[in-house]
Amino acid sequence: MRFQFSIILVSLLTCLSISLAAQEIRGDYLETRSADVYTGQCFANGEVNLVGNEAILAWHVRSGGWDGVQLQGLTIAAAVRANGTLGDPYENPLPAKAVLLVDDLASAQQRAALVSFAKHMGGDLLKNVKQVIPTQMELVVNAEHHGAAMLRAGRFATVQTRSIGEQDHVCGNEVTFYPPLTQLAHSMPAVALTDTYSGPALGVSWDFHGKRSAFVGTFAR
């Protein structure tokens, strides 16, 4: 009797462990904005209400899943157009419009889980999704060079970043002026060497270079 009870208990614990593992999700994150996020007060004041309406948020799953669906190795990105400078504490930039770019290697079930995950992480920013587009996705973070990352989302979006160096301290009072747009385990500001979006539904495309407008980080839920 005790032996049978032990077997049942072990089975229950195993099932619980598998269930919890399926709900854990970890990976790499990349974000760009059309305003500098690493900047001084004077530069930020010069950009607010003029730029900063656009953003790209991208997640690459290194392990785990969402809604009970394994997502390891898959990537999803969101291109966003808001009504004002994202992160401005004095104005509400919402509602925003978003397009989700989903890994075309994902199955229908995985695609739905990726969309659910992105909406959860993006919150109100991704509440108004205009279109979901399956496309080739690649997000690579260079572990040897902090802040260096690359995103390719088919023909719709390209981002390449590098770490911030001495040459990027223009006024000498730079700080991480705006926080990332989603909850992260770790993040650092970076320079967006390339930040482009050309796709449907947002009514705008962009092509920025050399702005201190990116975040590279990791997420864990």
* pLDDT tens digits, 51-86: 889 999 999 999 999 999 999 999 999 999 999 999
Task: Read off the pLDDT band of 15 (50, 70, 90).
Answer: very low
Residues 6+ apart with CB under 8 A from 38: 164, 168, 174, 175, 176, 177, 189, 190, 212, 213
Mean pLDDT, rounded, of the chain: 89
Task: Read off the pLDDT band of 13 (50, 70, 90).
Answer: very low
- Residue 98 tokens read as 């978003």
More confident residue, 165 or 161: 161
Count of Cβ atoms closer than 10 Å to residue 162 Cβ: 19
The C-alpha atoms of residue 37 and residue 175 are separated, in whole angstroms, by 8
Q: Is the pLDDT of residue 143 over 90?
A: no
Q: Is the pLDDT of residue 48 over 50?
A: yes
Q: What is the mean pLDDT of residues 121-147?
A: 95
pLDDT attached to residue 21: 44
The C-alpha atoms of residue 94 and residue 184 are separated, in whole angstroms, by 21
pLDDT attached to residue 51: 83
Q: What whole-number percentage of the chain has pLDDT above 70?
A: 89
pLDDT attached to residue 106: 98
β-bridge partners, 194: 160
Task: Average the pLDDT over each of 5-19, 139-153, 202-216 and give the range with the smallest value.
Answer: 5-19
Domain map (residue ranges) of the chain:
26-220
pLDDT attached to residue 125: 97
The C-alpha atoms of residue 126 and residue 174 are separated, in whole angstroms, by 29
Q: Is the pLDDT of residue 207 over 70?
A: yes
Q: Is the pLDDT of residue 7 over 60?
A: no
pLDDT attached to residue 23: 55
The C-alpha atoms of residue 84 and residue 15 are separated, in whole angstroms, by 47
Three-state SS string over 51-90 comes to: CCCEEEEEEEEEEEEECCEECCCCEEEEEEECCCCCCCCC
pLDDT attached to residue 91: 87
The C-alpha atoms of residue 54 and residue 75 are separated, in whole angstroms, by 20
The 10s digit of each residue's pLDDT in 85-112 is 998 888 899 999 999 999 999 999 999 9
The 10s digit of each residue's pLDDT in 21-46 is 445 999 999 999 999 999 888 777 67
CA 65 vs CA 22, 56, 61, 119: distances in Å: 5, 22, 8, 15
Q: Is the pLDDT of residue 180 over 90?
A: yes
